[in-house]
Amino acid sequence: MIRSKKALLIVLIILNSVVLIGQIYPEGAPPFARTVNIIFLISSLIYFIILARQKKI
């Protein structure tokens, strides 16, 4: 379980890096940046909802 959480966080960090590069330097963003941005936002939302339910915040 801990390995899967760590792997998910690594994926989210990588996606976040691509999104950040696209925000800082839009001309250099890859053509798939919009798709990566949407995937990052949705996966982050799902992760935080699951985390909040586990912690009973």
Contact 22, 33 (CB under 8 A): yes
The per-residue pLDDT for 28 is: 76
> What value does the mean pLDDT of the chain take?
80
Residue 14 has pLDDT above 80, yes or no: yes
User: Residue 1 — pLDDT band, cuts 50, 70, 90?
Assistant: low
Contacts of 33 (CB under 8 A, 6+ apart): 18, 19, 22
Residue 22 has pLDDT above 80, yes or no: no
Residue 36 has pLDDT above 70, yes or no: yes
Tally of structural domains, the chain? 1
Number of H helices, E strands in the chain: 2, 0
Q: Would you say the pTM of this structure is higher than 0.85?
A: no
The per-residue pLDDT for 23 is: 80
The parent domain of residue 42 ranges over 2-55
Joined together, the tokens standing for residue 40 give 């990052």
